[in-house]
Amino acid sequence: MSDYDLLVSGGRVVTGNAVVLCDIGIRDGVIVALGAGLEGNAKRHIDATGMIVTPGGVDGHAHIDQPDHPSSIVCDSFETATRSAAVGGTTTVVSFAWQLPGHSLKDTVADYHEKAKASKIDYAFHMTITDATDTVLEDELPALVDAGNRSIKVFMTYDGIGIDDQQILKVLEAARRNGALVCVHAEHHGLIAHMTEKLVRAGKTEPKYFPDSKPIAAEREAVNRIIALAETLDVPIEIFHVSGKEPADEIARAKARGVKVFAETCPQYLVLTRDDLDRPGIEGAKFIFGPPARTKDDQQALWQAIASGTITLISSDHSPNLFWGETGKTQGRDDIGFHEIPNGIPGIAARLPLLHHHGVNAGHIDLVKFCELVCAEPARMFGLYPRKGVIAIGSDADLVLWDRKKEVTLTNEMMHHACDYTPYEGMKVRGFPTMTLLRGDVIAENGEPVQRDPSGIYLARDAYDYIAP
Amino acid sequence: MSDYDLLVSGGRVVTGNAVVLCDIGIRDGVIVALGAGLEGNAKRHIDATGMIVTPGGVDGHAHIDQPDHPSSIVCDSFETATRSAAVGGTTTVVSFAWQLPGHSLKDTVADYHEKAKASKIDYAFHMTITDATDTVLEDELPALVDAGNRSIKVFMTYDGIGIDDQQILKVLEAARRNGALVCVHAEHHGLIAHMTEKLVRAGKTEPKYFPDSKPIAAEREAVNRIIALAETLDVPIEIFHVSGKEPADEIARAKARGVKVFAETCPQYLVLTRDDLDRPGIEGAKFIFGPPARTKDDQQALWQAIASGTITLISSDHSPNLFWGETGKTQGRDDIGFHEIPNGIPGIAARLPLLHHHGVNAGHIDLVKFCELVCAEPARMFGLYPRKGVIAIGSDADLVLWDRKKEVTLTNEMMHHACDYTPYEGMKVRGFPTMTLLRGDVIAENGEPVQRDPSGIYLARDAYDYIAP
Amino acid sequence: MSDYDLLVSGGRVVTGNAVVLCDIGIRDGVIVALGAGLEGNAKRHIDATGMIVTPGGVDGHAHIDQPDHPSSIVCDSFETATRSAAVGGTTTVVSFAWQLPGHSLKDTVADYHEKAKASKIDYAFHMTITDATDTVLEDELPALVDAGNRSIKVFMTYDGIGIDDQQILKVLEAARRNGALVCVHAEHHGLIAHMTEKLVRAGKTEPKYFPDSKPIAAEREAVNRIIALAETLDVPIEIFHVSGKEPADEIARAKARGVKVFAETCPQYLVLTRDDLDRPGIEGAKFIFGPPARTKDDQQALWQAIASGTITLISSDHSPNLFWGETGKTQGRDDIGFHEIPNGIPGIAARLPLLHHHGVNAGHIDLVKFCELVCAEPARMFGLYPRKGVIAIGSDADLVLWDRKKEVTLTNEMMHHACDYTPYEGMKVRGFPTMTLLRGDVIAENGEPVQRDPSGIYLARDAYDYIAP
Amino acid sequence: MSDYDLLVSGGRVVTGNAVVLCDIGIRDGVIVALGAGLEGNAKRHIDATGMIVTPGGVDGHAHIDQPDHPSSIVCDSFETATRSAAVGGTTTVVSFAWQLPGHSLKDTVADYHEKAKASKIDYAFHMTITDATDTVLEDELPALVDAGNRSIKVFMTYDGIGIDDQQILKVLEAARRNGALVCVHAEHHGLIAHMTEKLVRAGKTEPKYFPDSKPIAAEREAVNRIIALAETLDVPIEIFHVSGKEPADEIARAKARGVKVFAETCPQYLVLTRDDLDRPGIEGAKFIFGPPARTKDDQQALWQAIASGTITLISSDHSPNLFWGETGKTQGRDDIGFHEIPNGIPGIAARLPLLHHHGVNAGHIDLVKFCELVCAEPARMFGLYPRKGVIAIGSDADLVLWDRKKEVTLTNEMMHHACDYTPYEGMKVRGFPTMTLLRGDVIAENGEPVQRDPSGIYLARDAYDYIAP
């Protein structure tokens, strides 16, 4: 009889808050032993000598197989998005079960369970509420939360998607009653509409004007506002995709007075700037996502906010819109205005390599903090910890082997998503996943997804950890 | 031939930024001479020996003869409000020309010119915009501003009065184009509605719960929001009735980064607290106004904000609602809920004596600062300076003689307004106006209005001083 | 042949950043395996079922066997202090090699190596520099740092101990050159001397006046000052024993602008207040330590600073002064003035149980954060990580088994130090160590030290981790 | 009989807080009438038509006839400095009675009374204390303060001049007892010494390195420190020559919590930057003064601090050191190191024209604020108000007539001081004083001092206004 189904040996393992040389023994998809020179039989061996072993990435923010809307036309199915994730070292995704106005949330979640059967990695859902009716909040929500859908997403902007403050207050109350977290896209809708109209009227419609249509003050304001609402009702919230200094400062102020507010940023805000929108021709359209990329100073401020604990999560906000074609950003035109271009970029595969390179290699964070930001804290925040996000006894054997010396030039082909471009085309990074394991099974190797039946399963999430009793 | 129509002699005069012993020579309603022992003939003498002489008060915020609305049923006409003002030492009022939704702003202002003919003191108008149509903003506003109506009032709350952020943005743009100031009642409408509904549902409807329905976070949030909007469009704004520390802090933050935001508070926030709402029976209703009175700590913070220049204006927010009767706060019931009680209290007469006592006598401010807060800065802010608000050569001879030693117990009768109560009943103050002059004419003496024809005139205001070229 | 020398099985283990059910296999004093139901032979078994297992505590701040000085007469030898530590769950201590003015630092360290041979737990030294001569800084320091003494302690106050700013600047430069951390007792010497003299002159000498002699402004000022010096020279520093809100705010401000400043607080600041100094008679003398205990509000602010990451370490500042007797705080008198009373209290044993009770049980922190504050971060900060401070493969088998349900009333006898009192006498806590292991050997059990030869060893510390390359 | 000795007619007068067209009637050196078309006889007329009339400038910070010291060798006597002041529109100066270590303060003040008899303008003294003995503080100070010397200057840096914190605390206590204000040169002595030594050792001794030897952190730190000391003892202080953002921020923080701290800046910090020290050859030495000129961003921050009321005074810090010659900055060498160059620049004449041009013309401040900063507030702060600093009835007839359209290129010759250069050589300004009157007598006209006997008198100052009862 074998002691282990699989033994990963010889790697330097990021286990909890230390990086140690150790072997990992796996049985039934679960980590059952960590040891220096683990002895015992194993059905299979993986030699991780010279590799770094991290937990599988947990991506708390990805748009997959979502209803088309002028503001974003997502091109990835669960199959394509999650094979992309696997290649990039991510083994768990919290995607969105996206309610359309007038629709049942219960049915929405049921639909997404069907769609997600194609997933190559484990998954859970944020429930995007675009129509906060009493039926949704009173009748449907309790059972859905009980079934493990422990978070709600609301938008403060986008016509037909965003909900107004009074609806948000109802959502916050319902979240509080049911023990759910509320995740927020925070930008001031009216100010963006106003600035957009002014720019369009002035004929300033090239992509480079997009950031002016969504000024950081619009984000700062909305962050301050949602904090005030959540603070008054005492409900924990997570601010999605903090893009720069001003919103980060608002969050820091709130945390300092004890508000339960958590914050995420994404690699695009750390790697791209608004200058990328000023590339020749329509090329800038590839960098249209909201909130927009800001400045070098904002990047610096985000690293500082990561260091100080103001920002504790880094997700992808994977939101792949095609570039070419009628359903793409360009809609087949090379003179399209920024206000007509769907928002969103692909990024589920690039998240970890980008952050590893620009974060760890650049000296902003160490490997332990890296794993905190992309594995442990997302898992904790979304009720999946310590099953996910950590290499510990009893945790799922979701592992990523990294060759930290490998130099890679990013291309769209390497991403294995359904999108026809990557905004990171041509960027060089050092360090890349060489193998990704999901519950002990190899799902990607040497940059290629492993062909096999979908193996992802739904993760019913625990009650939200951060809610005080 | 007389040198002067009137000589006010022997007083200690607050002239500009000093308090000096000097005589005041007046001709044609204007100050033409200041001097030590002014010689020359005068038709009339007033002996101010032993008195302090200040400029007439300028009240930048008073609700007079306004359309009834469930949120406030103002009982004062221009006649009664301004005779009350005169007794209390105020000689200029900027009241509201209050547009009703669906109405022309031009007609509204014309109506108010008629109504205001009864005024005993000089007056000008803020234009309250409750329906920011293109007609109002594009067609009507320019001429109205040119005619001296240099400020616009918007509400961020109250059903049927408040306008939403997108309308506010249009108002701000129009204000910028036309050189007008925007004055704001800043409270988060949705949060107040939400908290009110929760309290009512819980049966907590006594007046003492009113402050819980309008938490300071709702004010802080709205102050932050309107600042973000005005800052983005670069339009100067004035925040009305700052009630405590948190909104004052937001304003200080904005001023520190150079935003053109000005702030007012009112005596009620310096003298009353939320404890006053917890008086026995329905008595607490007398203290219902919005934003509500806060805490002792907030009072302290307001004095500090005055000292540091965060708050530069003190107005009355005179908004007299009857207490008894069907159109009063109680609506004839002693079990009325806070949510059914019209907001607002009278205060145009009490403003100066209260601030003199609780400010100057208490050592928070000196006489020069007192006159800055209630005379000079309101005049400057509203384009009336130096015609109003200062004792200087060429200024209108609006003067108040004060007996600083006179001890007075405030009663409603002394207020000479149309309201059936004063929230300050029974309070003692030391120092009270003994005579008020408007352009050289005595309009109040020894606490009584002087019976005479209305003598107030409309003041066409100058372009807004604080807009950079 | 046995697989393990020792197997600790069945406990819930705080391993890195998760709490998991797992067994711990130990060989040669080192953790070699973690596993669910570890199989294999072991020479010895410890059943930890129902227990929580944490890493052994690392105490980064303890005064042991130190030269007598009027400001503190330490009564513990390494033997007594470390047996006390063992009972309380601490297995590593960074104590002080205390230079006397005029003495060689090299000789001082050598002396302490001798003294510390009596230690029951592992140890390292901060070098207390009281005389920053060129000989010390230029000639002696490099070799001492190379030998693993990676930190320097300086005092900004206490006559004959504190050094002035110009000396501190030299120490900071030397620390930078040699890769050492500088730890600081930050209080403004002159202000304390001044306030003390005023109080004494006014006859206010009871212990309750002690906090007035060391106002928090004196600490805030010195914290600000040392930060300015270290920031200018770009040297990492650790602020010892932050006592309340004001100094914590200074540190947060500095961290926010990227200064490499780290901060410690101690249980006494979280559990005691200045009211404890007002106990009857001379009893208050038991609570005299500097900086002094502050207020409830300060306690709250410290918990907040811990939550926000401003404070990352909790040490004991064990500084045991006898209460009775001529060398004690009272010096045999019951009318002794606060200015004559030596500062310092014992606390090396009580640190973990107090923090567990008032921190974890009270809901301020969870078990993972608890271990970060008292084990992992001190180990990291002082160059001992991951050998110490964490339960991971390859780490020393320093373990503490906790019965989290055990209710204990603290008494001095339980502390096993040489001091004749504990300031925590009579306090109740829930949760206490039942067994402490040092490198696989049991050194305390059921509240009693295990009688055996000294087993502690000197730990040569790594180059300071937090210094950027 | 004449009504007036002098009538200044037709000017636009900055009177208190307004700018009005009015005549000024003067009798016995005092303003006795202000009026529109003042009638009455006058012995003499001055036609101010087309001119602006401001109060005479009050300069609260000027070094005149001071003992030589390596850090500054002042070349102006009272005669030369004050004729320079008169030309530039300043009619009152508070200079220093400069104690040498070991000397009596009483004798020092007596000496300065002798020296100042040559003054062309009115004067008072700050008492510079460089040796805070008990004799000075206990025996001498009370009578000196009673005699109108209401302020004490202390230095926190400069060898042989600066005093340590314990002495400063004694000075603060003495100031509190006697009702004196304490003015502070705030820079961290040790840090400057340390940085200087490092730069010199590295051979970086050109003038351009001078700002690196006095980093803004040294100023920020000292400002924070002196505030902490004064706050603890509750003594009002004035911070001299705030040079940039960081110290200004410290002051704003302190004011926000109610500390009685006042702040001054000087034209050199608003007009010059550290780039001026990088002029070719030894030219940079002309711009060596401490604290040093900072950056453009700091200038911006200072204007903001002026706008927000953090900084309320603008003085000259006139400290004229010759450039050439053995007692000059260069000491006859063109390779002199910054550390050997005496600090200080002349500026008493240029203060008002520079501030008028770069402040009023540039739109940072208006004329009323200008007069507040350079006339009224210095007079108020130093107990001379309203006798000095304001055009009001009863005030001294100290007047400046300005031709605001006059374009002037500044040269050293125009300054009429004893110094051989001005740092403002070649700068163009629009607006210059055309006439200066001291108590009704013309003391400068068309840029030339009026030749006459010294007419300045000693001003015994009132008890400090800002001390709460």
The tens digit of pLDDT for each residue in C160-179 reads 999 999 999 999 999 999 99
Tokens of B33: 């001479």
Instruction: Decide if D386 and B20 are in contact by the 8 Å CB cutoff.
Output: yes
Same domain, D159 and D12: no
- With bands split at pLDDT 50, 70 and 90, how would you rate the model's confidence at A464? low
Q: Give yes or no for residue A468 having a pLDDT over 60.
A: no
Q: Neighbouring chains of C at 3+ CB pairs within 8 Å? A: A, D
Return the pLDDT at D465.
Answer: 54
Last residue of a domain, one of A373, A403, A425: A373
Same domain, D131 and D167: yes
Domain-located, residue C465: no
Domain-located, residue C434: yes
Instruction: Give the separation between CA D394 and CA D32, rounded to whole angstroms.
Output: 6
Mean pLDDT of D389-395: 97
Interface of C with A (CB under 8 A): 3, 13, 15-22, 25, 30, 32-40, 252, 255-256, 258, 304, 307-309, 363, 372, 376, 385-386, 390, 392-395, 468-469
Burial class (CB in 10 A: 0-12, 13-18, 19+), B215: buried
Domain-located, residue C264: yes
Return the pLDDT at D468.
Answer: 33
Q: Which of B169, B215, B231 sits opposite A232 (nearest CB)?
A: B215
Parallel, antiparallel or unpaired: strands B30-35 and B23-27? antiparallel
Q: How many CB atoms lie within 10 A of CB B243?
A: 27
Q: Which of B17, B21, B394 sits opposite D22 (nearest CB)?
A: B394
Q: Neighbouring chains of D at 3+ CB pairs within 8 Å? A: B, C
Q: Which helix (DSSP H) or strand (DSSP E) does residue B437 occupy?
A: strand B428-438
- Residue in the block written with tokens 């009864």: B118
Q: Give yes or no for residue A97 having a pLDDT over 60.
A: yes
Domain-located, residue A260: yes
Instruction: Give the separation between CA A122 and CA A397, rounded to whole angstroms.
Output: 12
Same domain, C276 and C303: yes
Mean pLDDT of C146-152: 96
Mean pLDDT, chain D, whole residue set = 95
Domain-located, residue D19: yes
Question: Any idea how long chain C is?
Answer: 469
Instruction: Decide if A16 and C392 are in contact by the 8 Å CB cutoff.
Output: yes
Instruction: Decide if D386 and B22 are in contact by the 8 Å CB cutoff.
Output: no
In 3D, which of A106, A18, A99, A29 has the Cα closest to residue A54?
Answer: A18
Shortest CA gap D191–chain C (Å): 7
Mean pLDDT of C453-465: 84
Same domain, A398 and A287: no
Q: Which of B21, B395, B468 sits opposite D363 (nearest CB)?
A: B468
Q: How confident is the model over D115-157, as pLDDT tens digits?
A: 999 999 999 999 999 999 999 999 999 999 999 999 999 999 9
Return the pLDDT at B468.
Answer: 32
Q: Give yes or no for residue A323 having a pLDDT over 80.
A: yes
Return the pLDDT at C25.
Answer: 96
Instruction: Decide if A393 and C16 are in contact by the 8 Å CB cutoff.
Output: no
CB D162 within 8 A of CB C134: no
Instruction: Give the separation between CA A373 and CA D287, rounded to whole angstroms.
Output: 50
Same domain, A66 and A38: no
Label residues B57-83 b or e (16+ Cβ within 10 Å = b): bbbbbbbbbbeebebbbbbbbbbbbbb
Return the pLDDT at B165.
Answer: 97
Instruction: Decide if D16 and B15 are in contact by the 8 Å CB cutoff.
Output: yes
**DSSP character at residue A458:** B
State which residues of chain B have pLDDT below 70. Answer: 1-2, 464-469
- With bands split at pLDDT 50, 70 and 90, how would you rate the model's confidence at C465? low
- For residue D35, the SS3 value is strand
Tokens of B206: 């006594």
DSSP A215-269: -HHHHHHHHHHHHHHHHHHT--EEE----SHHHHHHHHHHHHTT--EEEEE-HHH
CB A454 within 8 A of CB A117: yes
What CATH number does the domain containing B309 carry? Answer: 3.20.20.140
Domain-located, residue B383: no
The fraction of chain A above a pLDDT of 70, given in percent, is 98
Same domain, C155 and C297: yes
Sheet holding C237-239, edge to edge: C57-62, C90-98, C122-128, C151-155, C181-185, C237-239, C261-265, C313-314
Same domain, B50 and B66: no
Instruction: Give the separation between CA D72 and CA D75, rounded to whole angstroms.
Output: 9
For A151, the domain range is 56-373
The fraction of chain C above a pLDDT of 70, given in percent, is 98
Domain-located, residue C456: no
Last residue of a domain, one of B333, B349, B373: B373
Shortest CA gap C85–chain D (Å): 38
Residue A26, strand partner residues: A6, A31
Q: How confident is the model over C257-308, as pLDDT tens digits?
A: 889 999 999 999 999 999 999 999 899 999 999 999 999 999 999 999 998 8
Cβ contacts of C256 on chain A, cutoff 8 Å: 252, 304, 308
Mean pLDDT of A120-128: 98
Count up the domains in chain C and report the number: 2
One-letter amino acid at A300 equals Q
- For residue B445, the SS3 value is strand
The fraction of chain D above a pLDDT of 90, given in percent, is 91
Mean pLDDT, chain C, whole residue set = 95
Q: Which of A30, A34, A469 sits opposite C393 (nearest CB)?
A: A34
Instruction: Give the separation between CA D21 and CA D50, rounded to whole angstroms.
Output: 10
Same domain, D115 and D38: no
Residues 6 or more apart whose Cβ sits within 8 Å of residue D273: D293, D294, D295, D296, D298, D299
Instruction: Decide if D17 and B258 are in contact by the 8 Å CB cutoff.
Output: no
Same domain, A158 and A305: yes
Shortest CA gap D216–chain C (Å): 10
CB B394 within 8 A of CB D22: yes
Q: How confident is the model over D317-350, as pLDDT tens digits?
A: 999 999 998 989 999 898 999 999 999 999 999 9
What CATH number does the domain containing D40 carry? Answer: 2.30.40.10
Same domain, B365 and B398: no
Residues 6 or more apart whose Cβ sits within 8 Å of residue D202: none
- Residue in the block written with tokens 């951060």: A466
Q: Which of A447-451, C38-42, C136-140 has the highest mean pLDDT?
A: C136-140
Cβ contacts of B13 on chain D, cutoff 8 Å: 393
- Residue in the block written with tokens 């995709």: A241
More confident residue, A308 or C47: C47
Q: Neighbouring chains of B at 3+ CB pairs within 8 Å? A: A, D
CB D4 within 8 A of CB D25: yes
Residue D34, strand partner residues: B34, D24
Shortest CA gap B88–chain A (Å): 39
CB C320 within 8 A of CB C417: yes
Same domain, C46 and C101: no
Same domain, A23 and A158: no
- Residue in the block written with tokens 């629709």: A103
Instruction: Decide if C376 and A468 are in contact by the 8 Å CB cutoff.
Output: no
Q: What's this model's pTM, rounded to 2 decimal places? A: 0.94
CB C285 within 8 A of CB C323: yes
More confident residue, D463 or B136: B136
**DSSP character at residue B318:** B
- With bands split at pLDDT 50, 70 and 90, how would you rate the model's confidence at A41? confident
Domain-located, residue D460: no
Mean pLDDT of C75-95: 98
Cβ contacts of A3 on chain C, cutoff 8 Å: 39
CB B118 within 8 A of CB B454: yes
CA distances from D264 to A73, D240, D330 (A): 59, 5, 29
Q: Which long-range contacts (CB under 8 A, 24 or more apart) does C137-142 make?
A: C137/C170, C137/C171, C137/C173, C137/C174, C138/C174, C140/C104, C140/C105, C140/C106, C141/C105, C141/C174, C141/C178, C141/C180, C142/C177, C142/C178
Instruction: Decide if D34 and B35 are in contact by the 8 Å CB cutoff.
Output: yes
Q: How confident is the model over A346-366, as pLDDT tens digits?
A: 999 999 999 999 999 999 999
Shortest CA gap D397–chain B (Å): 13
Per DSSP, which regions of D50-164 are E strands?
52-55, 57-62, 90-98, 122-128, 151-155
CB D210 within 8 A of CB D288: yes
Tokens of B180: 């007008």
Residue of D nearest to C224 (CA): D221
